[in-house]
Amino acid sequence: MTLFAEYDFDEALIALDSLLGSFDSRIARHEKERGMIEEQSRKTILIVDDAPENLDLLSGILKPTYRVKVAKSGERASGGDC
């Protein structure tokens, strides 16, 4: 006598996969919402330089901590054209 003969394992696997997929989507949604809140709470820093390599370097260093905006000139920075 087989103990598990009355169970349909394919149906069980499909149900488990569906349950886990639903759980994964809830986790992803929560992480996205949390990231949006963290993004909103970060301070913004404006980097102004006419050398693109400096803008790239500084923004790369600061992005993990700040929301970064860059401008290639003082005119663009003061005019809000970042």
Kindly report, residue by residue over 34-73, the tens digit of the pLDDT: 776 666 788 899 999 999 999 999 999 998 888 899 999 8
Tell me how far the alpha carbon of residue 13 is from its chain's centroid.
31
The residue behind tokens 């054209």 is 81
Separation between Cα atoms, residue 56 and residue 33, nearest integer Å: 28
Listed by start position, the domains of the chain span 8-41, 43-82
What is the rounded distance in angstroms from the CA atom of residue 66 to the CA atom of residue 57?
Answer: 14
| Nearest alpha carbon to residue 51 among 27, 71, 77 | 71
User: Which pLDDT score is estimated for 55?
Assistant: 92
